[in-house]
Amino acid sequence: MPSTTLTQSLERDDAIAPRPGRRVFVKSFGCQMNVYDSQRMADVAAAEGYEETAQVEDADLVILNTCHIRERASEKIFTELGKLRELKDERAQSGRATTLVVAGCVAQAEGGEIIRRQPAVDLVVGPQSYHRLPDLLRRAENGKARIDTEFPLEDKFLHLPASSPAAIRARGPSAFVTVQEGCDKFCSFCVVPYTRGAEVSRPLSQIVEEIARLVASGVGEVTLIGQNVNAYHGRDAAGRDVDLAGLLAAAAALPGVLRLRYATSHPNDMSDSLIAAHRDIGALAPYLHLPIQSGSDRILAAMNRKHSARDYLDIVARARRARPDIALSSDFIVGFPDESDADFAATLALVREVGYATGYAFKYSPRPGTPAAELDDPVDEAVKTVRLAELLALLEAQRLAFGQSLVGRRLEVLFDKSGRRPGQIVGRSPYMQSVYAEGGADRIGAMCSVEIIRAGANSLTGRIVATSSRETGAKL
Strand order in the sheet with 358-363: 287-289, 327-334, 358-363
Binding mask 247-266 toward ligand SF4 (x if CB under 6 A, else -) reads: -------------------x
- Binders of ligand SF4 among 225-244, rule CB under 6 A? 227-228
Closer to ligand SF4 by CB, 147 or 192: give it: 192
Could you give the CA distance from residue 137 to residue 261 in angstroms, rounded to a whole number?
A: 35
For the CB of residue 273, give the shortest distance to ligand 5AD in the complex, in Å: 23
- Position 387 contacts ligand 5AD (CB under 6 A): no
| Dihedral sign computed on CA atoms, order 305, 311, 317, 320 | negative
Query: With CB under 6 A, what is the number of residues at the site for ligand 5AD?
Result: 12
Task: Candidates 5-13, 88-96, 361-369, 453-461: pick the segment binding ligand 5AD (CB under 6 A).
Answer: 361-369
| Dihedral sign computed on CA atoms, order 8, 9, 15, 21 | negative
Closer to ligand 5AD by CB, 278 or 367: give it: 367
Could you give the CA distance from residue 199 to residue 226 in angstroms, rounded to a whole number?
A: 9
- Binders of ligand 5AD among 152-191, rule CB under 6 A? 189-190
- Position 47 contacts ligand SF4 (CB under 6 A): no
Could you give the CA distance from residue 42 to residue 411 in angstroms, rounded to a whole number?
A: 34
- Position 365 contacts ligand 5AD (CB under 6 A): yes
- Position 291 contacts ligand 5AD (CB under 6 A): yes
- Position 334 contacts ligand SF4 (CB under 6 A): no
Q: Which does 133 bind (CB under 5 to 8 A by kind): ligand 5AD, ligand SF4, none?
A: none
Single-letter code of the amino acid located at 219: V
β-strands 221-225, 174-178: how paired?
parallel
Could you give the CA distance from residue 326 to residue 317 in angstroms, rounded to a whole number?
A: 10
| Dihedral sign computed on CA atoms, order 25, 37, 126, 336 | negative
Task: Candidates 149-157, 184-192, 212-220, 247-255: pick the segment binding ligand SF4 (CB under 6 A).
Answer: 184-192
Contact of 352 with 313, CB cutoff 8 Å: no
Collapsed DSSP state (helix, strand, coil) of residue 68:
coil
For the CB of residue 388, give the shortest distance to ligand 5AD in the complex, in Å: 10
Contact of 102 with 225, CB cutoff 8 Å: no
- Position 330 contacts ligand SF4 (CB under 6 A): no
For the CB of residue 104, give the shortest distance to ligand 5AD in the complex, in Å: 14
For the CB of residue 9, give the shortest distance to ligand SF4 in the complex, in Å: 29
Helix, strand, coil shares, percent, the chain, to 5: 40, 20, 35
Binding mask 296-335 toward ligand 5AD (x if CB under 6 A, else -) reads: -----------------------------------x-x--
Could you give the CA distance from residue 465 to residue 47 in angstroms, rounded to a whole number?
A: 43
Closer to ligand SF4 by CB, 231 or 250: give it: 231
- Position 187 contacts ligand SF4 (CB under 6 A): yes
- Position 81 contacts ligand 5AD (CB under 6 A): no
Quick one: 363 exposed, middle or buried, by C-beta within 10 A (0-12, 13-18, 19+)? middle
Contact of 148 with 103, CB cutoff 8 Å: no
Question: Site for ligand SF4 (CB under 6 A): which residue of 138, 169, 185, 318?
Answer: 185
Q: Which does 261 bind (CB under 5 to 8 A by kind): ligand 5AD, ligand SF4, none?
A: none
For the CB of residue 61, give the shortest distance to ligand SF4 in the complex, in Å: 30
Contact of 49 with 19, CB cutoff 8 Å: yes
- Position 293 contacts ligand 5AD (CB under 6 A): yes
- Position 69 contacts ligand 5AD (CB under 6 A): yes
HEC-encoded secondary structure of 281-329: CCCECCEEECCCECCCHHHHHHCCCCCCHHHHHHHHHHHHHHCCCCEEE
- Binders of ligand SF4 among 190-209, rule CB under 6 A? 190, 192-193
Task: Candidates 162-170, 185-193, 234-242, 456-464: pick the segment binding ligand SF4 (CB under 6 A).
Answer: 185-193
Binding interface with ligand SF4 (CB under 6 A): 183, 185-187, 190, 192-193, 227-228, 266
